[in-house]
Amino acid sequence: MNSYRVPQLAKKYTDYDMIRQHTEIPSFPDSRARLLQAFVARTDEKMDQELYALATSLVQLAMDTHDRIDTRSGDRGEQEMRSRQLNVLAGDYLSSRFYQLLAHAGKIEMIGKLSGAVSEVNARKMTLYDRMKKLLISADEYLRETVQLRMQLFLSFSDMMRDADKSLWTSLLKEFSICETLSEEMNRIRDNHQALHSYAFWHIYEHGNDEERKYLREMEIEPHVWGSLVLKYSVKKILLDKLRECTHRIQLLLQDEEGLQDLHEIEAILEPYLSYVQTSHAE
């Protein structure tokens, strides 16, 4: 089994006091990075498995950090302005580190591929945000597009994979991207400050009555009201059921494939999601 230490290596770039004090680094793309390392380890470029996983994770963190920039108009307090500025700078800094890492290793072609993927992600985000702004998206459409955005960077490595692995790589990347997305959406339920334009928001807006839809359009969500709406429309149960289905699909993929003796790492990636499903079901 390959040693996986990419999150620890990434801390060299993310654990700056100034960043930690004024902003919050998004969740590390752990499942995708670990999956990438496991599959690259089976290719002719296996010596660079850790480099690719680290560099791609830094690009993902950079984009996710930029997504946290508050674009609302109006006056802001000093602390809020400082946090906004640090989100911009932190995202730029993390993006520059990926370039430095790959350039130093002479991986110029991969810099081009990842840069192209960043452009594709940004284009898809613009389309998604425009539809969200116009309230023209369903909950399931939001979920599908969010998953695709999570996959895009990592799909840059598909041509590198062994022919025998390409189908499994793509399928597992999609399923683990779904798992990551669903887990994050369940966390957002508990924080009404992240409610706007979450899966829960779109599900309630899609199925709610006129009064509830009007309330959501006002974009000022009170915790007690949000909690009652989430409960009324069983959002957590829906997300949990989707996560359970996703973990089952991954298990079926692993059962159906042969020659996976050196990909036991995938079971380790899956384990936290299985545990979450089991624990939540017992509550």
User: For residue range 228-274, what is the model confidence (pLDDT) as tens digits?
Assistant: 999 999 999 999 999 999 999 999 998 877 656 566 889 899 999 99
Pair 189, 126: CB distance under 8 Å: no
Q: Which of 104-118, 163-177, 252-266 has the lowest mean pLDDT?
A: 252-266
The pLDDT of residue 140 is 96
pLDDT greater than 60 at residue 92 = yes
Could you give the angle at which helices 223-232 and 199-207 cross, rounded to 10 degrees? 70
DSSP label of 137: -
CA-to-CA dists, residue 125 to 108, 138, 253, 268, angstroms: 26, 16, 30, 31
Structure tokens at 275: 């545990």
The pLDDT of residue 1 is 45
DSSP label of 161: S
Q: Which of 74-83, 119-128, 159-168 has the lowest mean pLDDT?
A: 74-83
How far is it, in rounded angstroms, from Cα 66 to Cα 216? Answer: 25
The pLDDT of residue 280 is 80
Give the mean model confidence (pLDDT) for residues 103-107.
96
How far is it, in rounded angstroms, from Cα 239 to Cα 207? Answer: 15
How far is it, in rounded angstroms, from Cα 54 to Cα 48? Answer: 10
The pLDDT of residue 73 is 47
The pLDDT of residue 249 is 96
Give the mean model confidence (pLDDT) for residues 81-89.
64
Q: Which of 43-57, 77-91, 177-191, 236-250 has the lowest mean pLDDT?
A: 77-91
Q: Which of 12-26, 145-159, 182-196, 200-214 has the lowest mean pLDDT?
A: 12-26
pLDDT, the chain, mean: 88
Q: Which amino acid is at 118?
A: V
